[in-house]
Amino acid sequence: MSGTGSSIAPKRYRGRTAVFALCGLALLLVSLSVAISVGSVRIPQSTVWGVFLNRISPGMVDPSWSQGRAAIVWEIRFPRALLAMMVGAGLAMVGASLQAVTRNPLADPHLLGISSGGAFGAILALLHTGLFIGLLTVPLLAFLGALGATAIVLGVSRFADATNADRLVLAGVAVSFIIMAAANVLIFLGDPRATHTVVFWMLGGLGLAQWSQLIYPLAVLSVCAVWLMARAGDLNAMTVGDETASTLGIPVARFRLTTFVVGALITGVMVAFSGIIGFVGLMVPHVVRMVVGGDYRRVLPGSALVGAVFLLWADIAARTVMAPEDMPIGIVTGMVGGIFFVWLLGRKRAL
């Protein structure tokens, strides 16, 4: 597969990396500012950063805004924007790592059924088990659901001898449909008065973001991202083939399984707080590889950066297209991702 490439990036990509990183960080800062500013109540950029500076160091800026606007910026939009960045970065890194260990350019936590498993776990917690261990219940069951979906996909692919990359995606899509059917059964059997809450997980959204809960996705993403970055060289080797990776001393089967588990952990926790948001993990790594090449030492941080920016703008679109109503962000990413998926299939055919 031409997109993943070898572990040694051509020199032409090395020169782009610094420019890409600087431009990406600047765009991320601008995107964060715009995401906090726009909405049903438009807030000036000066107010956004004034509120931020005053929260960091009280009295740094003389307040010229109302308490209501300060609350909108700090209590509602700032945690929402930060959650969008974490979810986008996490899903993009998962997609990139899955594409490496499966050598499949179409691998994505959504298409492989991992997101559906996470949603199943979240719905189970919300409608049937209750929060038996507090706020950790939904992330925990979402992770277990994502992990279970991963195990089922791997089992089905082995049972059907779906070692081919395209057939692995088909196995994931089939499992995703089955899991979502099971999730619909849970909704049908649940309390009708509470089923409206699961729409959030079915369509995706960031409206429930709270400062007190951001620590969970941040902790999981930080630990897992460090692990993935530390194994970037192994991911490079996996893109070449199992035999080559084995000759380099990589325990291929164990490393692939561990990567799937790490991907399930990230996806499950992100789904628990944002619902099902598809195609981020499919699109972003391909875009990044076009700019910085196939070396995963660049692809992983680049995917995290672009994924964060992309989901910020997807959320901006979701809040402005049908303002003052919030469109589910999963609709935006699904629309963009579907178009990208068709383009990618056409590109593969042309190569």
Alpha-carbon distance 285 to 173, whole Å? 20
Total count of domains within the chain: 1
237 domain-assigned:
yes
* Confidence band for 4, pLDDT divided at 50, 70 and 90: very low
What percentage of the chain exceeds 70 in pLDDT? 92
> What's the CATH number where 28 sits?
1.10.3470.10
Q: What angle do CA 93, 95, 99 make, to 5 degrees?
A: 120
The identity of residue 9, as a single letter, is A
Within-domain flag for 327: yes
Q: Is residue 1 part of a domain?
A: no
Q: What are phi and psi of 110, to 5 degrees?
A: -75, -50
Please give the structure tokens belonging to residue 126. Answer: 């919300």
Query: Does residue 222 register a pLDDT over 90?
Result: yes
pLDDT digits (tens, 9 = 90+) for 301-320: 999 999 999 999 999 999 88
Q: Is the pTM of this model over 0.75?
A: yes
Range of the domain at 316: 11-350
Which pLDDT score, from 0 to 100, does residue 161 have?
Answer: 65
> 35 and 316 in contact (C-beta within 8 Å)?
yes
Give the residue with greater pLDDT, 12 vs 289. 289
Tell whether 38 is covered by a domain: yes
Look at residue 5 and tell me whether its pLDDT is greater than 70: no
Residue 188 lies in a domain: yes
Residues 3-28 as b/e (b if ≥16 CB within 10 A, e otherwise) read: bbbebebeeebeeebeebeeebeebb
Residue 191, phi then psi, degrees to nearest 5: -65, 120
Residue 302 burial (10 A CB sphere; 0-12, 13-18, 19+):
buried
In a domain, 3, yes or no: no
Residue 273 near residue 139, CB atoms below 8 Å = yes
